[in-house]
């Protein structure tokens, strides 16, 4: 290993070590952020006591997860020497937001209460910039969404918004915390979260990332709307399978199929005689003789 690469590696190890050794490497601002996160949980539960019974216990990685990693590259496994803390995607620091248990173990989940605290400015000292990405279809978004959320439901939209153009500029600050969700945060939101992480990995030298903190909103818009309806605009909720939007749903789901697959299916099921003249319609003068 070259001397320059060894020096970079040592600096990364020191940053990782800082996550779990407060007395040795943790700086005063990091200690202050940990205290603010602890106070946040108490304040939110005091304002919304119903969440105290509904919120699951904070996610704790199991044994052996330190080397496990999902295909998406969003693995929440803690690194050795971090006292069990979950690190960001570039392994440079612990996650800024408190984590929750979720359906997909390779993703990081946060609660509706945490998102509500971001919207109310209670985490301004912990998270400087954040973006809520609503992965539902436009008719669902128009019927009600989290205030300030972006409606991005296709991979090319993610790439256009978050990845740099040929001039190196992006529409979104690269240091932003990104929070994905769909109706239940069970399929569309997690899929697009993985897609962005994959594109980010492909565009950077491992383990560097433009967006090291990707989260999924636990329970999706449905659960957020149940507890924080006043933080939605308009204050409504349209289900993906609403009977008034069946045509729109079919249209959006059809677009999700790869173009190559659609062409193959079209060719396979196309009548063989299509475009050929019928034998009965060929004049006798043009028919072959035997």
Cβ(221)–Cβ(181) below 8 Å: yes
Question: CA 105 to CA 70: how far, in whole Å?
Answer: 8
Question: CA 228 to CA 231: how far, in whole Å?
Answer: 6
SS (H, E, C) 111-125: CHHHHHHHHCCCCCC
| Catalytic entry in 95, 135, 182, 193 | 182
DSSP, collapsed to helix, strand or coil, labels residue 79 as coil
Cβ(143)–Cβ(236) below 8 Å: yes
Structure tokens at 202: 């492909």
Question: CA 71 to CA 106: how far, in whole Å?
Answer: 8
Residue 88, exposed/middle/buried by CB under 10 A (0-12, 13-18, 19+)? buried
Q: For residue 248, what are the contacts with CB-CB under 8 A and spacing of at least 6?
A: 137, 138, 139
Cβ(51)–Cβ(45) below 8 Å: yes
Annotation says 182 is catalytic = yes
Question: CA 134 to CA 151: how far, in whole Å?
Answer: 5
Strands 232-233 and 145-146: antiparallel
Neighbours of 203 (CB within 10 A): 13
Catalytic residues: 182
């Amino acid at each position: 290993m070259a001397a320059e690469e060894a020096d970079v590696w040592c600096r990364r190890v020191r940053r990782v070590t800082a996550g779990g050794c407060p007395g040795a490497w943790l700086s005063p601002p990091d200690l202050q952020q940990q205290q603010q996160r602890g106070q946040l949980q108490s304040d939110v539960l005091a304002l919304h006591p119903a969440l105290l019974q509904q919120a699951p216990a904070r996610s704790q990685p199991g044994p052996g997860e330190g080397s496990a990693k999902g295909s998406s590259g969003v693995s929440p496994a803690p690194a050795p020497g971090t006292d069990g803390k979950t690190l960001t995607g570039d392994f440079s620091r612990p996650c800024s937001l408190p984590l929750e248990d979720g359906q997909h173990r390779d993703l990081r989940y946060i609660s509706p209460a945490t998102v509500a605290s971001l919207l109310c400015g209670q985490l301004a000292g912990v998270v400087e910039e954040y973006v809520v990405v609503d992965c539902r279809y436009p008719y669902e978004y128009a019927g009600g969404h989290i205030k300030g959320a972006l409606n991005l439901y296709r991979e090319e939209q993610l790439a256009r918004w978050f990845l740099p153009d040929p001039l190196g500029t992006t529409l979104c600050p690269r240091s932003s915390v990104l929070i994905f969700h769909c109706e239940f945060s069970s399929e569309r939101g997690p899929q697009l979260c993985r897609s962005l992480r994959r594109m980010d990995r492909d565009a950077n030298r491992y383990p560097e990332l433009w967006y090291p903190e990707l989260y999924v909103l636990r329970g999706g818009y449905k659960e957020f709307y149940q507890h924080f309806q006043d933080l939605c605009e308009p204050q409504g909720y349209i289900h993906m399978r609403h009977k008034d939007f069946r045509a729109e749903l079919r249209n959006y789901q059809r677009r999700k199929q790869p173009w190559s697959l659609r062409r193959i299916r079209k060719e396979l099921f196309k009548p063989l005689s299509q475009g050929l003249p019928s034998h009965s319609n060929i004049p006798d003068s043009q028919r072959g003789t035997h």
